[in-house]
Amino acid sequence: MVLSELETLARLHLDVTVVVLNDQALTLIRLKQKERQGGDRAVTYAPIDFAGVATAMGVAGRVISDVPGLQDALTSTTTGPRLVDARIDPSGYPHVIRVTRG
Rounded CA-CA distance 14/69 in Å is 22
Phi/psi for 75 (5° steps) reads: -105, 5
Classify residue 58 by its DSSP letter: T
Look at the chain and report how many structural domains it folds into: 1
Instruction: Answer for the pair 45, 20: CB distance below 8 angstroms, yes or no.
Output: no
Which residue segment(s) compose the domain that 14 sits in? 3-101
Q: For residue range 69-88, what is the model confidence (pLDDT) as tens digits?
A: 999 999 988 899 999 999 98
pLDDT of residue 30: 66
What percentage of the chain carries pLDDT values higher than 70? 79
Q: Mean pLDDT: which of 16-20, 34-38, 43-47, 88-92 is highest?
A: 16-20
Beta bridge mates, 44:
25
Q: For residue range 41-69, what is the model confidence (pLDDT) as tens digits?
A: 667 777 889 999 999 999 999 999 999 99
pLDDT of residue 35: 57
3-state helix, strand, coil in the chain (%, to 5): 50, 20, 30
Q: Domain of 30: which CATH number?
A: 3.40.50.970
